[in-house]
Structure 1
């Protein structure tokens, strides 16, 4: 028997849960027990997949501190002593908080599987499990497909510009007019207003991926970062002007940066090169 326990505060996207169940069934077998733990708000966001996949929701108490992990761990330990007991226990979370639970159950002979979105997987938790399944990559690939198609389109040759007719040279002016010309130029120079200074950061196309990573070094870890904090650092580094749009900047590099969530992003994640 395979049991799947979902931390809905961590694995919080319906498509991720759907992909998780599909990959578990393909790699491990039929998932008999399916439970999701989280706040009422998080579980409401998963209502469709909970209904279609017959996953039992367990609403966590609204306390000052998040206790979802503890509630999930208690139920897993209780299930491990029941008969018949599961052969495979899958935890739908990449939090390092579950490592002590995973080690204890693995010592008792259970096969432990982790299902997590790659950007949310704690590095120190990877080797605690017998197998780790990453989800969310299929949606990222779908987002990148249109951009890849645009890059593969042939660039049309530049259009020929119409020939510019050169004006006929005027006859030289009289000596009196020639003497007045320099004075007129001086007056025009005084009246001319200085050109408005342009902000280099407003020119989004001039910014490179390396400049962004040097300004916000925390992005190199590949973990989601607050979009507001990243934008502030880019402003400080003069890479993003006051009138420039941060999402427009990152969308220029679809293979290097991922905006989360795609519709109304509030986080940004760097995608390391494979």
Structure 2
């Protein structure tokens, strides 16, 4: 039996949850238990997905503390201790707060998998899981590191043999005498580094790309990110949160710790 528990305060986009279930059922088999935990507001944003996939919603009070994490962890341990125990428990969240839970469930011989959007995945939590599945459009390839089975960046280890440089004999270059020439002073011209996409992104460009923000209502950060990517205003590896933080007087993010919603703050005097 496979159990999929979604932290709707973290894995908050319906597209991510849809993609996660499609990947899990294609690669691991049927997902018998499907539950989503979160505030009424976040679960409302997943309403269509919950209905389509028959996911049971568990509403928590919208408090400052991590009540959603505790509710999810409690049910996960209940499943881990039941007989027969599930073969796999999937946590739909990249939050590092779940690491103690993951370790405890894994010690009971249950495979633990994480599903997360890449920018929301806590790097310190990657190796706690047996496998990490990334969802969303931001699928960056390896750069200075390799990728493990979980799709996470793994620092490359170097051995002493790798760092030993081969000794080479310097080769003398043939030189020819040049006729003396007059020295002319050359001015060094400072070159400016090319502007990044975020530098070129103005407030008007953001509002044009995401017109739903103009109403001043809360919008899912994932939906805003998709519109910005489609408009080429945001690079594949660029942070949506950082982009909005460049305009603190015009955009508000919530919650503060791991924001998943954004709204446009209209200038005073505008309706």
Q: Which residue of 1 aligns with 2:94?
A: 94
- Describe the SS at the equivalent of 2:33: strand
- 1:13 matched to 2:45? The reply is no
- CA distance in 2 between counterparts of 1:47 and 1:208 reads 41
Unaligned runs of 5+ in 2: 141-192, 210-227, 242-250, 254-258, 260-271
TM-score normalized by the length of structure 1: 0.56
TM-score normalized by the length of structure 2: 0.56
Q: Which residue of 2 aligns with 1:59?
A: 59
What does 1:38-57 align with in structure 2 at a 5 Å threshold?
Answer: 38-57=38-57
- CA distance in 1 between counterparts of 2:33 and 2:2 reads 7
Q: Which deviations, in whole Å up to 9, do the C-alpha atoms of 1:22-56 show, x marking residues without a partner?
A: 01111211100000000011111100000010000
Q: Which residue of 2 aligns with 1:105?
A: 105
Q: Which residue of 2 aligns with 1:208?
A: 195
How many corresponding residue pairs? 173
- CA distance in 1 between counterparts of 2:27 and 2:130 reads 13
Q: By percentage of residues, which structure has more helix?
A: 1
Is the 2:118–2:139 Cα contact (8 Å) retained in structure 1? no
Q: What RMSD in Å do the two structures reach over aligned CA positions?
A: 3.4
- 1:245 matched to 2:204? The reply is yes
Structure 1 residues 127 and 51: alpha-carbon distance in aligned structure 2, compared to 1, 3 A threshold:
same
Q: Which deviations, in whole Å up to 9, do the C-alpha atoms of 1:193-246 show, x marking residues without a partner?
A: xxxxxxxxxxxxx96119x6xxxxxxxxxxxxxxxxxxxxx7xxxx888xx636
User: 4+ residue runs of structure 1 moved beyond 4 angstroms?
Assistant: 248-254, 265-268
Structure 1 residues 240 and 34: alpha-carbon distance in aligned structure 2, compared to 1, 3 A threshold:
closer
Aligned-pair distance for 1:81? 1.2
Bigger radius of gyration: 1
Unaligned runs of 5+ in 1: 141-205, 213-233, 269-274
Q: Which residue of 1 aligns with 2:121?
A: 121
- Describe the SS at the equivalent of 1:31: coil
